[in-house]
């Protein structure tokens, strides 16, 4: 009778937690916020810079940031070029003094490449919702001259995954892809062509102006002094000619080339062919390489409508047995998904300890599958109201006072693919005895 009373007591406690699980899974808050990094071209200069210049740019956020606290996790500018002289290079955002960072560059006797990562201390780039945002990067050299200047902004943010239970996306998203263009294991001193293919696999249908940023990052080591011109598909309107100062020793470079004709501008999914034209004059380039970086908006393909899995970890439960309880089984109450209530799976992991703090290292969640008991496997409990024995080869849950569980809900039977329906768990019952 005592064991029955304790089991019912555990059931009541767990039902309170399970009720939270129903709400969490139903409103899809179970889906962990995801994160991504996008790169957006800011600007370049094919002329030398020795005084202040402004580089206006737009940043597009296509993902759902609603309800995400502090979605922007990292936002900074990567600026590169080749400098001569000695002095400082200051960056600001939108002309704001609080955003200023002044980088000291030592005096050099020969043109010297640099890359500076500038993090605005005022956090000017800080979108809270999806949309297009306009900014201006202020570049302020003093005592130096910069050649082949280029800059991009790199933003990492959290977002809410698209729910689309009906299979239709509710918002557009954005991503950055990087595609190899070509390299050269021989020196280049005259024009060369680098054919390449760009693949877009996402759905761009109905998206206005899907390409938000498309540019080439080219690098190598040069000798001499002159220019390096880039074109796309041999088109004169796509030309940018970058002046490289004369150097007495081989000097590395990276140039960000933005085609002013916007030749790379796909409107639908597919494979697109282009040719990057590389035209050096007065210089010789060694170890040349280039990639194209494309940031675009797209419609998510919500196959199945729900994420593949969602999981909840319980609070710590106290059996009240000082010498530790014996844990027998675990079951859940509720329904699987789909019209026939036969879609999806419910799985568990279990942990016991004599420590009340969840940060104690003795708390380890285990599951068992196919005779294996590890932290990466689960107790399969796909049938509701059916106890699953807490047997884990090589691991004993018993003789511990406290216990916790982790329940995983799968929208498809394989717990890998997203599905169109979701199980609902109304309560979890753990059977134990003193």
Name beta bridge partners: 68.
none
Q: Which of 217, 224, 241, 219 is nearest to 111 (CA)?
A: 224
pLDDT for residue 369:
86
330-363: pLDDT as tens digits: 999 998 887 778 888 999 999 999 999 999 999 9
Q: What is the pLDDT of residue 420?
A: 67
Q: What is the pLDDT of residue 11?
A: 30
Average pLDDT, the chain: 86
Using alpha carbons, list the distances in angstroms from residue 65 to 83, 126, 174, 206, 289: 40, 12, 12, 22, 36
pLDDT value at position 33? 47
Output the pLDDT for position 15. 31
pLDDT of residue 14: 35
User: Of the given ranges (60-69, 330-339, 414-423), which has the lowest mean pLDDT?
Assistant: 414-423
pLDDT of res. 24: 29
Q: What are the pLDDT digits (tens) for 225-246?
A: 999 999 999 999 999 999 999 9
Question: Is the confidence at residue 25, as pLDDT, over 80?
Answer: no
Query: In the predicted model, what is the mean pLDDT of residues 372-394?
Result: 91
Q: What is d(CA 178, CA 354) in angstroms, rounded to the nearest whole number?
A: 50
In tens, the pLDDT along 168-219 reads 455 568 889 999 999 999 999 999 999 999 988 888 877 888 999 999 999 9
Is pLDDT at 29 greater than 90 in this prediction? no
For residue 30, pLDDT beyond 50: no
Query: Among 95-99, 327-331, 337-341, which is the least confidently predicted range?
Result: 337-341
pLDDT in tens, 268-325: 988 999 999 999 999 999 999 999 999 998 877 554 467 778 888 999 999 999 999 9
Confidence check: pLDDT of 65 > 50? yes
CA-CA distance, 316 to 402, in Å (whole number)? 7
CB 198 within 8 A of CB 269: no
pLDDT at 301: 58
pLDDT for 5 beyond 60: no
pLDDT at site 302: 53
- Yes or no: say if 344 and 307 are a contact pair by the CB < 8 Å rule: no
Pick from 59, 64, 36: which is nearest to 128 by CA? Answer: 64
pLDDT(166) > 50:
no
Per-residue pLDDT, averaged over 377-387, amounts to 91
pTM confidence score: 0.61
Give me the mean pLDDT over the 128-149 stretch: 96
Position 85 pLDDT exceeds 70: yes
What is the average per-residue pLDDT within 114-118?
94
């Amino acid at each position: 009778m005592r064991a029955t009373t304790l089991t019912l007591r555990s059931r009541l406690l767990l039902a309170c937690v399970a009720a939270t699980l129903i709400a969490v899974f139903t409103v899809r808050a179970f889906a962990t916020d995801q994160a991504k990094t996008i790169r957006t071209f800011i600007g370049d200069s094919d002329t030398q810079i020795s005084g202040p210049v402004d580089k206006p740019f737009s940043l597009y956020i296509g993902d759902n940031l609603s309800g995400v606290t502090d979605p922007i996790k990292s936002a900074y500018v990567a600026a590169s070029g080749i400098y001569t002289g000695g002095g400082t290079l200051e960056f600001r955002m939108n002309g704001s003094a609080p955003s200023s960072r002044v980088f000291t560059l030592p005096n050099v006797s020969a043109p010297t490449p640099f890359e500076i990562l500038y993090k605005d201390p005022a956090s000017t780039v800080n979108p809270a919702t999806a949309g297009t945002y306009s900014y201006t990067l202020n570049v302020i050299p003093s005592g130096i001259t910069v050649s082949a200047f280029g800059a991009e902004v790199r933003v990492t943010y959290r977002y809410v995954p698209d729910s689309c239970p009906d299979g239709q996306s509710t918002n557009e998203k954005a991503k950055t892809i990087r595609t190899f263009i070509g390299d050269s294991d021989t020196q280049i001193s005259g024009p060369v062509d680098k054919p390449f293919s760009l693949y877009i696999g996402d759905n761009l249908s109905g998206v206005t102006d899907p390409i938000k940023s498309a540019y080439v990052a080219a690098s190598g080591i040069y000798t001499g002094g002159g220019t390096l011109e880039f074109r796309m598909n041999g088109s004169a309107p796509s030309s940018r000619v970058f002046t490289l100062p004369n150097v007495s020793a081989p000097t590395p470079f990276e140039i960000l080339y933005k085609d002013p004709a916007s030749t790379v501008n796909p409107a639908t999914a597919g494979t697109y062919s282009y040719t990057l034209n590389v035209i050096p004059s007065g210089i010789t380039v060694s170890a040349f390489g280039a990639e194209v970086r494309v940031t675009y908006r797209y419609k998510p393909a919500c196959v199945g409508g729900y994420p593949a899995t969602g999981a909840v970890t319980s609070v710590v439960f106290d059996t009240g047995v000082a010498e530790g309880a014996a844990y027998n089984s675990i079951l859940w109450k509720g329904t699987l998904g789909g019209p026939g209530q036969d879609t999806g799976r419910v799985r568990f992991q279990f942990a016991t300890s004599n420590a009340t703090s969840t940060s104690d290292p003795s708390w380890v969640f285990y599951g068992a599958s196919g005779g294996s008991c590890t932290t990466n496997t689960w107790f399969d409990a796909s049938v509701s109201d059916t106890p699953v024995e807490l047997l884990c080869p090589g691991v004993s849950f018993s003789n511990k006072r406290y216990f916790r569980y982790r329940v995983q809900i799968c929208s498809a039977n394989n717990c890998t693919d997203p599905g169109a329906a979701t199980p609902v768990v109304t309560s979890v019952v753990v059977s134990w005895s003193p």
